[in-house]
Structure 1
Amino acid sequence: MAFTGLRGASSGLLAVLKKGSRLGRRNKDVVTVPTLKPAKAPIASLAPLNKIISTYLDPKDVERVREAYKLADNAHLGQFRTSGEPYITHPIAVTEICAGWKLDADSLMAALLHDVIEDQDVTKQELAEKFGTDVAEIVDGVSKLERLQFQTKSQQQAESFRKMLLAMSKDVRVILIKLADRLHNMRTLDAVSPEKSRRVAQETLEIYAPIAHRLGLNALFRELQDRCFKAIHPNRYKVLHKALMAARGNRREVLGKITEAVTVALPAAGIEAEVSGREKSLYSIFCKMQEQKKSFSDVLDIYGFRVVVNTLPECYLALGTLHQMYRPIPGKFKDYIAIPKINGYQSLHTTLIGPYGTPIEFQFRTHEMDHVAEEGVASHWLYKDDNVTLNDLQKRTHHWLQSLLDIQSQTGDSSEFLDHVKVDLFPDAVYVYTPRGKIISLPRGATPIDFAYSIHTDIGNQAVAAKINGEFVALRTEMKSGDSVEIVTSPAARPSIQWLNYVRTGRARSEIRHYLRTVKYEESVAFGKRLLKQAFESINIPYPDDNHPEWDKLAKSSGAASREEILADIGLGKRLAAVVARRFAPELAILATTAAQVDDYTSSGAAPIVIHGNEGQAVQLAPCCGPLPGDAIIGGIRMGHGLVVHMAECQVAQRQQVKEPERWIPVVWDTNTARHLNTKLDVTVLNERGVLGRLAATINDADSNILHLTMPDEGAATNLLHLTIQVDSRTHLARVIRSIRQIPQVQKIVRVKGANS
């Protein structure tokens, strides 16, 4: 059943008269004509699509696709692309790409209709009534947010991507249609201006191509990259393409020899295989030249071979056969069958030295693996079928899509959300193990913090140390494939803003920012209230209730949004509690901002702030001296950081107190303080075998924990060890020190109190 739509006087006159005033108002690539095109207008035929879908859809579904085509054909009547073609040719082409992936009828209908909400004011409700909720939801997910007004173009794009990716997280068909849409736009990019061509290509290279790779659509990924390269660097593309064509002719003899040898050797070994040569894409060659600063003539491995066999064991047998024929290059073997890439890709990779010393890459895979390698998540289309078990690729895809919802729940700003997602669209990955042997895939350059958040948010938030392959390492250490990673946690631990400098996953980044934004704010509000209450007590004024009119006046005059923001500013040190308190005392208002009044407050003998040690971000124990319960302490209000508690004898605190005396207030320890507080020790030991193990065991037996350890003089007769350990109090620290002194190799122990900080 073939059917054809005509863009001309043959159909849709009434529709044009009704809709002509609104056609194409939002799509800059569309030309709307006020009158009908002449009868010679190009014909947009659905016959090729019909031929494809008839091979795998039943007649009832084919008829549904036909009905969707009729609506799309009518909706886009009178519209023409910049190239002069009827606009309906675009949704037909997009649908043909989707049909090539054998997507279901709902997907194909949505592909045909994907622009009708955006361009033609057809409502989502109308689509749902005519074609069902699924089709309407998919079309809505694909549609851009042109109707909304944003402050900037980048904000508009970010919000569009956010909506698209969130719709994708609920139904992966959204992104498959969007990728098909972008592919056809890239194939017809010559019709638009060079400036727009470069802009669209850059956007495709940054967002859509990585998404295609992340979903395992490698054939699409490579085509998008090459087309983007051609649009962004047209001259470089031409030169490189010409060089590749020349190299193809020059190396034909070498490639022919290898092909002939391999096709003879594999059957001789009892292996039935399909052997095909392939070239690296122009864009990947260009990137390699850029990264390694090489000329084209220096890039030798632009050709490779793919060996497709029937069974998994034959992959390894074929590998062994070729290793006997040609010498393998050490370090160039990768087993993506045992450990698949995060997008489901499976294959054996090896690089061999071929005839004339030319390095040639070989890939070995089964027919099934080859299908997945080219079409990724679209290779095994499965949607809402409870009777079918998800394969590994679909599970991984589902896990990643679900993570988008997790990131969105922690992020309010569209641009920030897009930044987080871009982080996750990585081309490479490392594979590390949990203590129980489970494999976790993370982006290259990921740290134990990324690993911790990939396991659970609470593990990330409470991480204090990490072990890689049984050895303690810094939390910023980059992990390598094969590492076994263990996270040490503490209920008293909190995420640090410094972590954002070295985390690599979008989830870790969004979770850290969410914590700092919400928990720190709440803690700052609570601590600011404590400081303000103390300030009111010092001037003998009762603390005002939350509805006191002065709160609104103070907020308006100071640019704060609410009473909570004022309290948070006090807790973070952005406002002085004494100054805010005096705003509620009219007779003291004139003096409220004078340094004398602030000095009165700090020297008035007001009750000191009680420190528990677990207040969170609003109260920090100074890392320079590491104060412990039992130490004499003093607190400094630091702008943007809240209250920082130092030992009274800390030289850092003493210098700062001289510079800004108005920011220092009396503080004392609570009788019931937090456990697991950090302090530093310098331990001088004889450099003998086993001393570190004995030291660690002794500290552990004393109910303490080593968070960090460095040895600056590793080759000397004696070593000065810098330790950061966790203790409950000064008394507990003394007990730990006494235990360490019992080790014969220990010569000296000094508690670091900030004198050299």
Structure 2
Amino acid sequence: MELLLQYDVEFDEDTPFGKDVDADHAYLMDAIDKVGGNLDKELISKAFYFCVEMHKGKYRKSGYPYYTHPLNVTLLLMNELQLHDSNSLAACLLHDTIEDVEIVSTEMITSEFDEDISEMVDGVTKISHSEIIKPEIYTEDRLPQNFSEDTLAGPIKPRVSKAETYRKLFMALVRDARVIMIKLADRLHNMRTLHYLSPKKQVEIAQETLNFYIPIAHRLGLLKVKMELENRSFYYSNRENYEAIRSALNEKRREFIDYIRVFSDLIQNSLDAQNLKHILSIVHKHEYEIHKMTQNGKSISDIDNFYSVVIILQSNDVHECYRALGVLANAFNTISFVDYIAKPKLDWYKSLNTELIGPDGKRIEILIRTKEMDTIAEEGFAANFSLKTGRVRALQFTDSDIDEWGEWMKDMIEEYGDNASQIIWDSLKVNLFDSELTVYSKEGRQISLPKGSTLVDYAFVLSDEYGLHCVTGKVNGSFHDLNYKLNSGDQVEIIKSDNAVPKFEWQKSVVSHRAVAMLHKYFKLNPPKTLLKKKADGNYDTKLIIRGEDRELMLLDITEAIGKSNIKRINLDTADSMFDGALSVLVENVEELNNIMVRLLTVKGVSDVKRVYEEDEK
């Protein structure tokens, strides 16, 4: 049984770097050899010595030469974030040069290296410009031994809005995911050396990390990075609470480890009896996670599952997970079960999560995974999308696509605030990382789309004109509604009309970045028709068209569904045993109208209920 141990949050920087440049270079080359692969050592060496030369004479507050920071960040990127791409490692070594060295420009980086590396360095620099807190750099004539708060140029002020910072982070991810990985490694090293700064700066940087970097790490499924950033941020922003939880965690650990040794034997024997090869690990909820549970009203003494048992099956057959769950369910009492295999989390996390009742009635959380699932749980994004080689899905984003998508992100953040991050991430995930489907035009042209794309998504790939004026579509020769979801291999044709305009509800079904951004832009410039017309008494007047199969007492049931006091006027046509009614109703708000429509659709015989906009009656 493997026990995942805790780490100390505050520690002095234990680094051999900064005394001998050539020795530091040799250390880096040796680390590259251990990683293996086809990394370009000549390119990385050139970037290392360029970094050393450009940062010559500059120091961090720790007293170490400044070049040791990019070196440490590069090693973190390679070894802990698992990014094994030569250009990315070179860009990481250079990531502070444009921002902090006056003579260095993007043109110089392009000339000395290449455009790909230059664009990554520039991308990291643009994110840095949006940070609230800037790391300090010292020259030889102002070393950190004499540092005091008085040496600061003035009070620290946010440079840009929170919305703009979020947008820059998301846009950096769209343009090149490697930039975000470099920035996360940079922030991780800064958090590991945060104890060199003043308490005031520690709190400010910790809060910024919680607000901006941890959500990105979470969405990318970088579990270890997220946990460490959370714990360090919690430690520096609320040390008293952190220490109280850490103490409670250590106490629970002593109790739990003795108990789990007996419990784990029962688990292992049950699985071995069914020839389910596995490894057992113990993981604990980290301090910040427990803090969030206490924020929701729980006291530390009420939390039972500080620790969990992870069963890693030595197979990548998902059916083995369900078989293992069945074995445990027969051997123990189960009290809950969540299937993250059938419905993975947004960060690609997959697992069967259950709680078992042990021999003395204690609850134990069990996580059942295959080897592949465990790798994704630990490495997240990097494990799932070949970042070891620097490759992410090769979608063709034009500058126009990115600008339009960026404007949409900005509007979402301004409209929905913190809730926008979920909306934006869903769009990024679908367009950048989730599965693709391939369809074909009538002429045989191959077109790639995100999984879940509709005919409207396809129309916007053809052109904005097709997207904004499409009226219907053919899939494999048959006509379909524009919300029809496409499948790989479909042959698709779009029929458009210059007089047609988009429908507002399309925004709920499209998934491709172009369709999302362009429909949002269209309805921002052309707001949808007014749904309700306000009356002098404060109520709203609207019209409903109700159709269905006529029957006895049909009108009475409809009247009861609406409410007699709400009905203003009724026009009926019941020819040919069909009910076709136009009703004017008074409501207080849209929510009341929606509730009326739901009730109408439950009336026997009613097949369709439509709202009529004011302009449609003219």
Q: Is the 8 A contact 1:7 1:44 kept in 2?
A: no
Matched, 1:679 2:548: no
Q: Distance in 2 between matches of 1:457 and 1:754?
A: 40
Q: 1:410 aligns with which of 374, 396, 408?
A: 408
Residue 752 of structure 1 is matched in structure 2 by 584
For 2:63, the equivalent position in structure 1 comes to: 84
**Is residue 353 of structure 2 the alignment partner of residue 354 of structure 1?**
no
**Aligned in 2, Cα 1:123/1:159: closer, same or farther, shift over 3 Å?**
farther
Please say if 1:739 is aligned against 2:574: yes
Identify the residue that residue 119 of structure 2 maps to in structure 1. 137
Classify the secondary structure of the residue corresponding to 2:59.
strand
1:621 & 1:415 partners in 2: Cα distance? Answer: 25
Gap change, CA 1:756 and 1:61, over 3 Å in 2 = closer
Judged with a 3 Å threshold, the aligned counterparts in structure 2 of structure 1 residues 232 and 508 are, in CA distance, closer, same or farther, namely farther
User: 1:514 corresponds to which residue?
Assistant: 521
Q: Partner letter of residue 367 of structure 1?
A: K
Classify the secondary structure of the residue corresponding to 1:297: helix
Offset at residue 507 of structure 1 (A): 10
Residue number in structure 2 paired with 1:628: none
Q: SS state of the match for residue 574, structure 2?
A: helix
Q: 1:721 matched to which residue of 2?
A: 561
Pick aligned residue for 1:119 from 80, 96, 100 = 100
Which residue in the other structure is 2:421 paired with? 422
Residues 679/60 of structure 1: CA separation in 2 closer, same or farther (3 Å cut) = closer
TM-score using structure 2 length: 0.65
Which gives a bigger RCO, structure 1 or 2 (Cα 8 Å, sep 6+)? Answer: 2
Which structure would you say has the larger Rg?
1
CA deviation map 1:181-200 (0-9, x unaligned): 11111111112222222222
Matched, 1:54 2:26: no
Query: Deviation digits for residues 223-270 of structure 1, max 9, x if unmatched?
Result: 111112112211100101011101111222221112222222222221
Code of the residue aligned with 2:408 in structure 1: it is Q
Q: Displacement, 1:53?
A: 1.4
Cα distance, 1:222–1:403 mapped onto 2, change above 3 Å: farther
- 1:180 and 1:407, CA in 2 relative to 1: closer, same or farther beyond 3 A? same
Residue aligned with 1:752, SS? strand
| Structure 1 runs not aligned, ≥5 long | 12-42, 432-437, 439-450, 463-489, 521-615, 625-651, 657-676, 684-694, 700-710, 724-729
Q: What letter corresponds to residue 207 of structure 1 in structure 2?
A: F
Indicate conservation of the 8 Å contact 2:17/2:68, yes or no.
Answer: no
1-structure distance, mates of 2:16, 2:101:
18
Alignment of 1:217-616 (within 5 A): 217-291=222-296, 293-311=297-315, 312=317, 313-329=319-335, 332-379=336-383, 382=386, 407-410=405-408, 416=414, 422-424=421-423, 456=457, 495=504, 514-520=521-527
* Aligned-pair CA distance for 1:219: 1.3
Q: Structure 1 counterpart of 2:295, which letter?
A: Q
Match of 1:17 in 2: none
Instruction: Work out whether 1:109 is the aligned partner of 2:90.
Output: yes
Give the secondary-structure state (helix, strand or coil) at the position aligned to 2:353: strand
Equivalenced residue count is: 478
Write the distance in 1 (CA, Å) between the matches of 2:41 and 2:131.
39
For the Cα contact (< 8 Å) 2:532–2:542, is it kept in 1?
no
Deviation at 1:321, TM superposition (A): 1.6
Aligned residues of 1:271 and 1:309 also touching (Cα < 8 A): yes
Q: Give distance in 2, aligned partners of 1:366 and 1:698.
A: 57
Q: Distance between the aligned counterparts of 1:413 and 1:718, measured in 2?
A: 40
Alpha-carbon offset, residue 57 of structure 1: 4.2
CA separation of 1:6 and 1:303: change in aligned 2, threshold 3 A: closer
CA contact under 8 A between 2:84 and 2:387: conserved in structure 1? no
Q: Which moved more, 1:74-83 or 1:333-342?
A: 333-342
Q: Deviations over 1:306-349 (max 9, x none)?
A: 111122232222222211222111xx322222332232222211
Once the two structures are superposed, what CA deviation does each residue of 1:689-742 show, in whole Å capped at 9, x if it has no partner? Answer: xxxxxx64459xxxxxxxxxxx9xxxx99961229xxxxxx9xx84xx222895
Residue by residue over 1:497-536, the C-alpha shift from the partner in whole angstroms, topping out at 9 and shown as x without a partner, is: xx99xxxx9999977763453224xxxxxxxxxxxxxxxx
How far apart, CA to CA, are the structure 1 residues paired with 2:280 and 2:368? 10
Cα distance, 1:155 vs. partner? 1.8
Counterpart of 1:140 in structure 2: which amino acid?
A: D
Change (3 A) 1:327 1:461: farther
Q: CA deviation at 1:218?
A: 1.2
Give the CA deviation at 1:452: 10
State how far apart, in whole Å, the 1-side matches of 2:232 and 2:293 are. Answer: 17
Q: Name stretches of at least 5 consecutive residues in structure 2 with no aligned partner.
A: 1-14, 133-155, 431-436, 438-451, 461-466, 470-498, 564-568, 590-618
Q: Which amino acid in the other structure matches residue 378 of structure 1? A: A
Give deviations 1:283-302, integer Å, cap 9, x for gaps. Answer: 111112222x1110101111
**SS where residue 337 of structure 1 aligns?**
coil
Residue of structure 2 equivalent to 1:98:
77
Kept in 2, the 8 Å contact 1:159–1:414? The answer is no
> What value does the CA root-mean-square deviation take over the aligned residues?
5.0
User: Which letter maps to 2:90?
Assistant: M
Q: Deviations over 1:146-198 (max 9, x none)?
A: 77999972526655554443232122111111111111111111122222222
Kindly tell me: are residues 148 and 231 of structure 1, through their superposed partners in 2, closer, same or farther at Cα, counting changes over 3 Å?
Answer: closer
For 2:342 and 2:368, how far apart are their aligned partners in 1?
Answer: 13
Aligned to 1:444: none
Check 1:492–1:426 CA distance in 2 against 1; reply closer, same or farther (3 A cut).
closer
Query: What is the percent sequence identity of the aligned residues?
Result: 31
Contact 1:453 1:508 in 2 (8 A): no
Paired residues of 1:93 and 1:184 also in contact (CA < 8 A):
yes
Provide the rounded CA distance (Å) in 1 between the counterparts of 2:119 and 2:196: 31
Alpha carbons of structure 1 residues 132 and 287: separation in structure 2 relative to 1, 3 Å: same
Assess, with a 3 A threshold, how the Cα gap between structure 1 residues 376 and 320 changes in structure 2: closer, same or farther: same
Moved more, 150-159 or 179-188: 150-159
Q: Report the Cα distance in structure 2 between the residues aligned to 1:128 and 1:267, rounded to whole angstroms.
A: 58
Report if aligned partners of 2:409, 2:424 keep a CA contact under 8 Å in 1: no
The alignment partner of 2:346 has SS state of coil
Q: Among residues 178, 192, 202, which one is paired with 1:197 in the alignment?
A: 202
C-alpha spacing 1:215/1:507, structure 2 compared with 1 (3 Å): farther
